[in-house]
Amino acid sequence: MSVLRKTKFPDPKAGVNTKEDGNSLHHENDFVLMELLSFPAAYINKNGRYEYVNRAYSELYNTECTHIIGKTPNEFLGDNIYHSVKDNIATALAGETVDYEIELPHKNNYLKIEAHCTPQFDKEGNVLGFLAVLHDITEKQKAKEELQDSEQRYRHLIDHLPAAVYTTDKDGYITMYNDAAAELWGRHPEIGRDMWCGSWKIYESDGVTEVPLDKCPMAVALREKRRAAATSSFIIERPDGSRRHFIPYPEPIFNSKGEVTGAFNMFVDVTDAKLAELECAKLAAIVQSSGDAIIGKTLKGIITSWNQGAEKLFGYTEEEMLGQPITRLIPADRIDEEPEILNRLRRGEKVEHFETKRIAKDGRTLDLSLTISPIKDSNGNIIGASKIARDITERKKVEEINARLATIVQSSDDAIISKTLDGIITSWNPAAQRLFGYMEEEMIGQPITLLMPPDRLNEEPEILDRLRRGERLDHFETKRVAKDGKLLDISLTISPIKNLSGKVIGVSKIARNITAQKEAESLIHENQERFRMAVETTNLGTWEYNPRDFKLYCSPESRKICGLPGDVDPDFEMVFEHIFEEDKDYFVDEVKAAINPAGNGTFDMLLRIRRYKDKEMRWVHAQGKVFFNSNFFPERLIGTMLDVTEEKTKEEELKESVELFETMADNVPSMIWMSGTDKFDDYFNKTWLQFTGRTLDQESNEGWLDNVHPDDVQKCIDTYNASFKEQKGFYTEYRLRRYDGEYRWISDNSVPRFSSEGDFLGFISACIDIDDQKRFREKIQESELLFKTISNASPAALWMTNEKEENVFVSDTWLKWTGKNFNEVINRGWVESVLEEDKKLVVKKFRECFEQRKYFNAEFRFARGDGEIRWGLTEGYPFYDFTGVFSGYAGSVTDITDIKKLEQRKDDFIKMASHELKTPITSINGYVQLLLNIYNESDEQQLHLSKPTVKSSLNTISKQVTKLTRLVSELLDLSKIESGKLELHKTEFDLADMVEETVQDVRHTTSKHAIIIHNEFEGKIFADKDRIAQVLMNFLTNAIKYSPDADKVEVFVKGNDKFATVRVKDYGIGIPKKDHQRIFERFYRVEGKSEQTFPGFGIGLFIASEIIHRHHGTIAVRSEKGKGAEFTLTLPLQ
C-alpha cells in the first residue's frame, strides 16, 4: 500500500480512483484523515510494521515517509525509544486501546509527547493493526512551569516591597500580606479568616470617627468594583494602643473576562510626613495638569490666573491677560459658547473634554480641548472657574490625514488611486504603475479620463455625482486603457474620502485587473460546450428492436459492450440468454411495463450481462423507449446502453472506503465533520457526538450551530462562508457546548475537498479541545497584568535583574522620574541617571551583594528628567525560580529627598533651639551671680546705694524669663499640634477689644515703635480668644523684630456679615516672593544675610497657621524684599 501523496479528497458519494494494490484496502480516501491531521499519526499493521504514516509523523523524526513505511518500530525508532514503548505496542496489537506519554529527541531538544493507540478490526473481529496518534504537549508543560514561575516572582516582589501590601479574595477574606503590612497593623491577621483589613481598628483622619472594617476602603473597592481614589488618609490603631496614619490605594483585580477575583491594596505609612504630604497633595493637583494651559476666571468671565502653559499656548503674558475678559480668546463665531459654559458652571457642573476653537495672540486659530471646573469657597459657594486648555490642533490634522490614509491602506494589494472631486489624480501607488504602465510623476495632477477609452468617458460624471452624494461603488466592471494602448478589463471599488465633519473631500479608487479572469471565463464556456458534446457521443451504444420481425440492430459500440463478433446477428433470445440469472426477472418486469400502453413507454435499468465470447461479466445501464401504432401495439423499441462496470466497481470500493473512513474517524481523539457543496454539514464523527451529547440528525445541516456559544455564532458563519466562497481552508477558534452544559474552546482546522477531476466537494475538518491551553495562557496573562498593576501603583520605583546582573525591568515610576524610555534603562542604562560621584560606589556595592546573594541597599543622588537632583534609597533582594535556581535581584528605589530635607531642617532647628534657649539662661545666670555678689559683699548702706543696679538686673532677668517662657510655650504648642492634642476653647468676645488688649501688652515691650490701630469693625466673634491673641502677638512681635529701622507698626481691623479680618503691616526688611508659600511651614526660616541676624525657632508662624486653620479661617502674607510685610488673618463669623 503506497503512502497518500495527493492533497485532494474524493467525495464518498462520487466515483473513486483505481486501486493500486489488490491485496488490502487501498483507496486514497482510506487514510485521508491521517493527512488532514495537524499532529503526527501512523498505522502499524498486525505484522508489526509501519503501513501508513502522515507527513507530520515523518517531520517529527526529520525524515521522509518512504524511509519509515515497511519497517518495524524497533528498526525505525532504535533500541532506546523502542524499549520504552514496546509493551504499549504489544498491548495495542492485542486489541486494547493504549494511552501513554514519552519524551522524544527533536532538533537538539526533547519533546514531551502524548500517544493514543487505537486498534482496528475486520468484520470478524480480528485485529488488523492499530492507529497511533501523537500530541506534542511540550508547550502545555512549559505553560504550567511559566505560571508557577510567574506566581513565584509575584509573591517574592510583594514580600520585598517597601510599602505595606495585602490582597483579598472576591469575598473580602485576606489571602496574602507582606511584612510591611504586619508591621503597620501591629499584628499578624489569620489568612482566610480575617476579612477586609488586618487592622485592629480604623479611624477617619480626625482620629475620632471609627470606620467599621466592612466599610474600609478595601471593602468599598470590592463592592463598587472600581479603584478607590486615595483622597484622604486614615488612622490605624494597633493592639498596643499606638496609632499610625496611612493612605490606602485599594484596587479590585479582574480576570481576562472582566470578573472581579479579588482586590489589591497598597497603603503607605504617612505618620511622620503627614503635613508634608498634605502640601504635596495640593502641589500634585497642580502638577497633574502643569503641561497644559491652566486659566482661572470669575463667574463673569474675567481672567484671574494665567500660567506658563497658557502663555506658551496663546502667546499672551500673565500681565497682558489678568483682569481681561476670557472672550478675548474666543473667535466671533464661538462667542455664544461662553454664556452656556458659565451657566453650567454656576449650576456646579464640570465641563469635560469640550472641543472648540480659540485665537492666539498672533491670530492663529487653535483647536483646543477644554476641561472646566467650578471653584468653590469653604462654604461650598461657586466663586469662579478653573480651565485646563489642551492644544489638539496637530491631532486634528493627523486625524484628517489618517482618514485618507486608512481608506488607501484598506486595499493596498491592488492599484490605488486618489483623485479630487474634479477628477484630478492626487496619488498613484506602485500597483497602479504596474497595472497601467504610467509612473507616478506622469499621472499626479492629470485628469482620470486619461485612462478611459472614448466610449467610456460618459461614466466619469455619473461616478463623481454618486461620490459627492457619499455613495460607494463596489465591483464596478468597466474597461480602461494602459500606457501601451492595451485595453484592460477592470473591476473598480470607489469610495468617497471624508473629513472629520463628514464632508466629502476626495475619492479613493481601487482598480483590479480582471482581464485574465474574463478570458478564462470565455475559455471555460467553450470547454464546457466541447465536454458536453464529448459526453453525449463517447462510449454510448445504441440499439433498435422490431417486435414484428424480431430483428435487433446493434451499433458497433453496443456490439463491443456485448462482445459480439461482426459475423453474428443478435436477436432478443440471444440477449436474454446472456443476462445474469439473478437479473432476468428484473429485465422481464421492466420490459413488460414499458410495452404496456397504459405506461409511459420507457424503461431505465441497471443489470449484469455475460459477454458473448469471453463470458466476462459487465454492468450495463440500458435505457429505451417504446413506440406504439394506432392500435397501441409496440412497433419499435429504440434505446441505448452504456458499460458502467468500472463505475460500479468504484462504487463498491467507495462503500468499503467510507466504512473504513468512518471507523477510523470514530476512533481518533479529534472531532471530525464534513460538509458538501450545499454548505450543509452532513457528517460528524463519534467523538464529536460524544462531546456534544447529541445525535447525527440533531447536528446535521446547521443544527451544530445550536451548541456554539451565542457570541461566536456569527464569526463561525462569516468565516465558513468566506472560505466556502474562495474554496480555501481556514482555521478558527470558538466555544462549543459540551454534553454537561459547559462551553469549551475548540480549534477548528478545515481544508477543502476536491474530486479527482478537481471539482470542489465541500470541507473536512478536525477539531481539538483547547480550553485548558487557553486557560493556562489567561492565567499567565492575568499574573503579568497583576505584576504590572502593582509596579505602576507603587509610589516607589521597582527594578529587576537577571542572573547575569543585567537590568531587565524598571517600573513606570523610574521612567517618569528620569524622563527616559525603557530601552534606555535596561541592562545598565539606568546608572546614567546617577550622579558620577555616587555611581561607582553604588555599582561596587551592588556587585559585592550580587556575588554573595545578600540584601543590598544604598543611597545615591540622581538627575530627574527636568534636571532636578533628587536623593534615592535603593534596596534589593535575590530571588529564585520555583525550582530554587537563582534568577536575579528584585528591588525598589524610594525618593527620600523630602526626608533628607526634613532631617536637615530638624538638625538646624536643634542647633538654633540650643542657642535660643541657652542665651536667656546664660543671661539669667549672669545677673543672678551679679546680685549674689552685691548681696554677699555689701552692708545695708551699700545695698541701698546698689538699688538701681539691682532693679536693672531684675528687669533684665524678667525679660529673659518672659522670652524663655515664650520659647517653651511655642515648643509645647508644636508638640500638641503634632500629636493632635491642640485644643480650642471657643467663646464669644469683642474682636476690637481683644486687639486693643494685645497691642497694649506689646507696647510695654517696645519704646521705639508706635503701634497704630485702624478699627473699622464693631462686633463679636466666636473663637478661642487666647489663641487668636497668640496669633496677633506673633504678628506684632515679628513686625517689631524685623523692622529695626522703622518707627511704626499698623494694625487694621475690618469685617462684613461673613468674615472678620485683622491685618498687621510693618515697614521692615520684607520677605522675598519665593518664600511666601513656605513661610508657614514648620522650622522654615527665610534664608539671607540680613535674616540670620534675627533669632527665632521658625515655628511661630507655623503655630499661627495651625490655629487659624483650626478655626476654618485663612492666613496670608503680602511682601516684597526691602518693602515691609503685611500678615492677615481672616475668621468666619459663623
Q: What are the DSSP E strand ranges found in 758-796?
A: 760-769
Contact 1047, 1010 (CB under 8 A): yes
Distance CA 219, CA 211 (A): 11
| Residue entry with cell 534609597 | 873
Which amino acid type is present at position 666? D
Among candidate residues 920, 1123, 1115, the one with its CA nearest the CA of residue 1035: 1115
Q: What is the mean pLDDT of the chain?
A: 82
Contact 250, 228 (CB under 8 A): yes
Q: Are strands 365-376 and 382-391 parallel, antiparallel or unpaired?
A: antiparallel
How much is the pLDDT for 516? 78
Give residue 913's pLDDT band: very low, low, confident or very high (50, 70, 90).
low
pLDDT per residue over 397-456, tens digit each? 767 766 666 555 545 558 888 889 888 999 888 888 888 999 989 999 999 999 999 998
Architecture of domain 670-775: 2-Layer Sandwich (3.30)
Superfamily of domain 162-282: PAS domain (3.30.450.20)
Distance CA 296, CA 315 (A): 17
Among candidate residues 367, 375, 328, 374, the one with its CA nearest the CA of residue 351: 374
Query: What kind of fold does domain 37-140 have according to CATH?
Result: Beta-Lactamase (3.30.450)
Tell me the three state secondary structure of residue 829. helix
pLDDT per residue over 1014-1048, tens digit each? 999 999 999 999 889 889 988 999 999 899 999 99
pLDDT per residue over 470-524, tens digit each? 888 888 889 999 999 999 888 888 888 887 678 888 888 888 888 877 777 767 6
| Residue entry with cell 440499439 | 543
Distance CA 987, CA 1009 (A): 32
pLDDT per residue over 946-968, tens digit each? 666 666 666 666 655 665 565 55
pLDDT per residue over 450-480, tens digit each? 999 999 888 888 888 888 888 888 888 899 9
Other Cβ atoms within 10 Å of 139 Cβ, number: 14
Contact 202, 219 (CB under 8 A): no
Other Cβ atoms within 10 Å of 1108 Cβ, number: 22
Contact 94, 46 (CB under 8 A): no
Distance CA 750, CA 675 (A): 10
DSSP 827: B
Cell of 364: 492663529
Distance CA 1134, CA 1022 (A): 7
Contact 508, 416 (CB under 8 A): yes
What does the DSSP assignment read for 1011-1027? EEEEE----EEEE-HHH
Residue 547 makes CB contacts below 8 A (sequence gap 6+) with 633, 634, 635, 636, 637
Burial category of 353 from C-beta neighbours within 10 Å (exposed 0-12, middle 13-18, buried 19 and up): exposed
Distance CA 429, CA 416 (A): 6
Among candidate residues 471, 450, 475, 451, the one with its CA nearest the CA of residue 462: 471
Main-chain phi, psi angles of 670, to 5 degrees: -80, 155
Main-chain phi, psi angles of 630, to 5 degrees: -65, -20
> What is the CA angle 796-798-804, rounded to 5?
155
Distance CA 709, CA 320 (A): 65
Tell me the three state secondary structure of residue 571. coil
Which amino acid type is present at position 730? F
Give residue 825's pLDDT band: very low, low, confident or very high (50, 70, 90).
confident
Q: Which position has the higher pLDDT, 912 or 808?
A: 808
pTM for the model: 0.34
Distance CA 1061, CA 229 (A): 36
Distance CA 974, CA 554 (A): 130
Contact 1095, 1089 (CB under 8 A): no
**Average pLDDT rounded to a whole number, residues 751-771:** 87
Task: Find how far residue 78's CA is from the centre of its chain.
Answer: 49
Q: What are the DSSP E strand ranges found in 590-711?
A: 602-610, 617-628, 634-643, 671-675, 681-684
CATH number of the structural domain 289-391: 3.30.450.20
Which amino acid type is present at position 187? R
Among candidate residues 1012, 996, 1002, the one with its CA nearest the CA of residue 1066: 1012
Among candidate residues 838, 811, 1068, the one with its CA nearest the CA of residue 161: 811
Cell of 693: 451529547
DSSP 828: T
Tell me the three state secondary structure of residue 477. strand
CATH number of the structural domain 409-512: 3.30.450.20
Distance CA 686, CA 672 (A): 8
Contact 73, 788 (CB under 8 A): no
pLDDT per residue over 154-208, tens digit each? 677 676 667 788 889 989 899 888 888 888 889 999 988 988 888 888 998 888 8
Tell me the three state secondary structure of residue 1023. strand
Alpha-carbon distances, residue 633 vs 333, 573, 594 (angstroms): 101, 20, 12
DSSP 194: S
Contact 175, 191 (CB under 8 A): yes
Residue 54's region, left for phi above 0, alpha for psi from -120 to 50, else beta, is: beta
DSSP 855: -
Residue 817 makes CB contacts below 8 A (sequence gap 6+) with 797, 833, 862, 864, 865, 870, 895
| Residue entry with cell 537632583 | 869
Other Cβ atoms within 10 Å of 1065 Cβ, number: 21
Which amino acid type is present at position 132? A
Alpha-carbon distances, residue 902 vs 183, 858, 905 (angstroms): 24, 19, 5
Distance CA 1116, CA 1125 (A): 11
CATH class of the domain at 535-648: alpha beta
pLDDT per residue over 1057-1086, tens digit each? 899 999 999 999 999 988 888 888 866 666
How much is the pLDDT for 438? 93
How much is the pLDDT for 7? 31
Superfamily of domain 983-1132: Histidine kinase-like ATPase, C-terminal domain (3.30.565.10)
Other Cβ atoms within 10 Å of 1047 Cβ, number: 9
DSSP 520: H
Q: Per-residue pLDDT for 132 more than 90?
A: yes
Give residue 667's pLDDT band: very low, low, confident or very high (50, 70, 90).
low
Q: Per-residue pLDDT for 795 more than 50?
A: yes
Other Cβ atoms within 10 Å of 873 Cβ, number: 17
Residue 991's region, left for phi above 0, alpha for psi from -120 to 50, else beta, is: alpha
Identify the weakest region by mean pLDDT among 430-444, 453-467, 784-798, 987-1001: 784-798
CATH number of the structural domain 805-895: 3.30.450.20
Tell me the three state secondary structure of residue 496. strand
Q: Per-residue pLDDT for 20 more than 50?
A: no
Alpha-carbon distances, residue 224 vs 215, 232, 234, 247, 794 (angstroms): 12, 18, 20, 19, 22
Burial 84-106 (b: 16+ CB within 10 A, else e): ebeebbebbbeeeebeeeeebee
